[in-house]
Amino acid sequence: MTLYLLYETSSGYSLFQAGGLDEIGQNNEAVRNSVSDLNRFGKVVQLTAFLPFESALDALNQINSVSEGIMTDELRNFLELNLPKVKEGKKANNDFVHEILRGVRLHFERFIKDLKPGDLEKAQLGLGHSYSRAKVKFNVNRVDNMVIQAIFLLDTLDKDVNSFAMRVREWYSWHFPELAKIVNDNYLYAKLAKFIDDKSKLSEDKLPELTDLLGDEDKAKEVVEAAKASMGQDLSPIDLINVQQFAQRVMDLSEYRKKLHEYLITKMNDIAPNLASLIGEMVGARLISHAGSLTNLAKCPSSTLQILGAEKALFRALKTRGNTPKYGLIFHSSFIGRASARNKGRMARYLANKCSIASRIDCFSENGTTVFGEKLREQVEERLDFYDKGVAPRKNIDVMKDAIERAENKDTDMETEEAPAVPSAKKSKKKKSKSDAAENGDHMVEDKPAVNGGASEDAKSEKKKKKDKRKLEQEQADENTNRTNGAHAEEDGLSKKKKKKSKDQDGEVLQDASDMKKKKKKSKGELEAVHCCFFMVWCQGGGFSGGPPPCTAALRKLSGAVASEEI
Amino acid sequence: MRPSMSRGLAADHGRGASRTHNNAGRGGRNNAGRGGRGGGAFRAQNIAGRGLGVRGRGRGGGRGGASGRGGMRGGNKAVIIPHRHEGVFIAKSKDDALVTKSMVPGDSVYNEKRISVQNEDGAKVEYRVWNPFRSKLGAAIQEGIDNIWIAPGARVLYLGAASGTSVSHVSDIVGPTGVVYAVEFSQRSGRDLVNMAKKRANVIPIIEDARHPSKYRMLVGMVDVIFSDVAQPDQARILALNAAYFLKTGGHFVLSIKANCIDSTLPCRQSIR
């Protein structure tokens, strides 16, 4: 029996033949001894073929495939050319082979005659550089990095703007100390400081402008009065100019902060729409930046997500065997603040679960809708109600079914966007979901208002871009959806009630489509179940043991496979 | 020494809590400014290891005092004598400093001080000061480690290269005839590593996870020494995997252990045992 060994180097593929295995004996120790001696090793292992890479670029392609575990055409040809035709031979993969490969690695330079000493290092050097450069260049978390940088900058800016504004107050208070008491807002104060300039020049005729700035006539009058009776000292013009310049800087900075905040919101709606609509852009962005990337966040178990940001407390608790913290960053989401003290921990756990799901959907699904995030948010609201008043929440499976259906419907809308009827349908749906939320006694704190408007618009434009790419898939999805719409309408009275309005409007578009396609009996529900199962298994199972970063492409491929099986 | 021996050393591998957290918090060692580099116990295995506390000053760079060009500059005062370890030198001047002979004269990797000295034959030789507060290997040498196994002409696999500050000194030691394979996972610090490696022909940068040596098997040949500085709960396993692939029979390894990273809940002494 002969054993063939493929050995990949930076300069090319090589194939070795190991014969006379019995002579060495299968004892690892014996193998090891013979491996270190070239004379003996050379007798046992011979070079059969060597295929040098044509160019540096070629080498880079090869190493990329090798590290991903993909067989390239070159490698296949090389193997087919040089391996004797055998029926499925015994594949040996054990310590023994490993030992021999170590030997090959040790003596490789002497096997290939044309290779001068140092050549291999040169090849390794060149390839190592290009491989590493490529790794740095094509970072999979490119978009996440923008969010991470933005949120860091935002935090820094908050701090800086605040301390600068305090400086303006301090400085201008030498001239006009009473103003600091009247105007609390930093930005407004800087504006006023710039406008008033010299307090002795402030008179009644500037009142309208002051009112404009302050938005309050009483306050404006108060300011004028205070200026008259001020106990501040007079500043020389050059000092005042400097104060003004600084005030202008502070204003610019805080305006820039606002712009950055908007940028962050659009970015978040791009990369993590569901997470953003569930927990708010800022908290979502913080979670992402703390985990390192969206993929990392999606890989976190929800228990980790729950205490993300409370590491110090966690490790202290672990060391002293005390109580572990209940929440970290997600505390800032306003849900937990609304829960009563004894339910805070439960709420944090529940919210973390939902965030975990949302981040996974965002990370691994290819069409960005906010439907799931909104539904999850509703669920959290319901849970809050449950703890508060004992109102029983809806069943999880119903909510998810509803969400899936909605997501599908949205896709259909996309497909028929040219039809004039659709946008209005969409709008009404939006309104409906808003009013839904209102019914639940929803006081959206700080983050919600932006979500609905901005998110949907963004999602729309983004989808438009992606549309062509996904057309094929969507057509399949459409068939399925249309069928389901019919089926569900009959079966599912409950959800039908909820969605009746929107469906009726969509219906016109959908019905003619569904008339045409009634060939298949399989329902969309099953397909969806397959998707979900696969998704959950994949998320929870060994998928994350640290292999190559799981990407949406893989998921797409698989879901594509599922879809095509059905057809 | 056989690679498999490494299985015997160190560390019950991290228990659930700390490990999860290591993975969650910024992907292990992803953070760019790795604060708290010091503060752990350092130990080189396969020697009668002396645990030595390195109390870091973080990245203060230098030990206070003269900034930039002051201090060690103006080499006429400094006298270079070879260290017990080949390739490492000691600069004797006002206070002693660990130095290595620079491969790339005129270039500081991390703003470290440089000392140039005139040889007997008039040629100028430049040495770079090795700050033990920033490099665990440097600290180990300063504290009198028995053998670092890294010597001129050696082929070294350096796991956990980070930005390449220590790697640059290792590359100085092995010189033009040796090779340093520097493996680092984080793309952020890998960027600095690649930049550093551009100037040093004997450093081969590899941006890849050290847990999967098969991914970079094409880039690495047989090595004499493995230096492992990966602060992970399963660092012994990582080392063993790499040794099985790349360490030649009879090769050596140097392993740096930060007790906190193995299991943060145990006291230091215990987790090292």
Does the model's pTM come out above 0.80? no
Q: How confident is the model at residue A510 (pLDDT cuts 50, 70, 90)?
A: very low
User: Sorting pLDDT into bands at 50, 70 and 90, what band is A480?
Assistant: very low
Residues of chain A with Cβ-Cβ distance to B264 below 8 Å are 315, 318-319
Q: How many residues does chain A have?
A: 567
**What is the per-residue pLDDT across B135-186, written as a single tens digit (0 to 9) for each?**
999 999 999 999 999 999 999 999 999 999 999 999 999 999 999 999 999 8
Chain A, 62-81: which have a CB under 8 Å from a chain B CB? 62-63, 66-67
3-class SS at A192? Answer: helix
Q: What is the mean pLDDT of residues A427-450?
A: 41
pLDDT bin (cut points 50, 70, 90) of residue B264 is low
Which range among A139-148, A202-211, A554-563 has the greatest average pLDDT?
A202-211
pLDDT, tens only, A6-47: 898 888 899 888 876 554 555 666 677 777 777 778 877 888
- Tell me which of A34, A62, A135 to substitute to probe the interface with B (most B C-beta atoms closer than 10 Å): A135
**Shortest CA gap A274–chain B (Å):** 21
Quick check: A285 pLDDT over 90? yes
> Which tens digits make up the pLDDT trace of A58-115?
999 999 898 888 888 989 889 888 887 765 556 665 777 888 888 888 888 888 877 7
For residue A265, pLDDT beyond 50:
yes
pLDDT score of A26: 58
For the segment A489-507, the average pLDDT, to the nearest whole number, is 42
Average pLDDT of the residues of chain A: 75
- Are B20 and A301 an interchain contact pair (Cβ–Cβ within 8 Å)? yes
Measured between alpha carbons, how far is residue A169 from residues A164, A191, A250, A362, B40 in Å? 9, 11, 11, 44, 46
| Cβ-defined contact of A129 to B246 (cutoff 8 Å) | no
Q: Per mean pLDDT, which of A480-489, B103-112, B166-175 is the most reliable?
A: B166-175
The ipTM, to two decimals, is 0.72
Q: What is the pLDDT of residue A91?
A: 60
Q: Which of B20, B206, B209, B219 is the best substitution to test chain A (most A C-beta atoms within 10 A)?
A: B219
Is A565 a residue whose pLDDT tops 50?
Answer: no
Whole-number pLDDT of residue A152: 95
Q: pLDDT at residue A562 above 90? A: no
CB burial of A533-567 (b: ≥16 within 10 Å; e: otherwise) equals: eebeebbeeeebeeeeebeeeebeeebeeebeeee
Q: Does B70 touch chain A (CB under 8 A)?
A: no
With a cut of 50, say whether residue A484 has pLDDT above it: no
Question: Please, where are the H alpha helices in A174-232?
Answer: 177-182, 186-196, 207-214, 217-228
A413, pLDDT greater than 80: no
Residue B5 in contact with partner chain A when CB distance is under 8 A: no
A471: its two tokens: 């057309």
Residue A419 has pLDDT above 90, yes or no: no
Contact B219 A108 (CB under 8 A): no
State yes or no: pLDDT of A50 exceeds 70: yes
Q: Which of A541 and B262 is assigned the larger pLDDT?
A: B262
What local confidence, expressed as pLDDT, does residue B257 receive? 85
What pLDDT is stored for residue B272 in this prediction?
47
Cβ distance of B207 and A135 shorter than 8 Å: yes
3-state SS assignment for residue A16: strand
Tokens in use for B131? 């700050």
Confidence check: pLDDT of A552 > 50: no
Does the distance separating the beta carbons of B205 and A129 come in below 8 Å?
yes
- Average pLDDT along chain B: 75
Of A392-396, A547-551, B74-78, least confident by mean pLDDT is A547-551
The residue that leads in pLDDT, A337 or A524, is: A337
For chain B, the three-class secondary structure string (H helix, E strand, C coil) is CCHHHHHHCCCCCCCHHHHHHHHHCCCCCCCCCCCCCCCCEECCCCCCCCCEECCCCCCCCCCCCCCCCCCCCCCCCCEEEECCCCCEEEEECCCCEEEEECCCCCCCCCCCCEEEEECCCCCEEEEEECCCCCCHHHHHHHCCCCCCCCCCCCEEEEECCCCCHHHHHHHHHHCCCCEEEEEECCHHHHHHHHHHHHHCCCEEEEECCCCCHHHHCCCCCCEEEEEECCCCCCHHHHHHHHHHHHEEEEEEEEECCCHHHHCCCCCHHHHHC
- In sequence order, the 6+-apart residues with CB closer than 8 A to the CB of B89 are B80, B81, B82, B83, B98, B99, B100, B101, B127
At A2 the pLDDT is 73
Identify all chain A residues contacting B216, using CB atoms and an 8 Å cutoff: 67, 131
Q: What is the pLDDT of residues A184-225, one digit of tens each?
A: 999 999 999 999 888 888 888 888 888 988 888 888 989 998
Above 60 in pLDDT, residue A460? no
Query: Is residue B265 a contact partner of residue B16, using CB atoms and an 8 Å limit?
Result: no
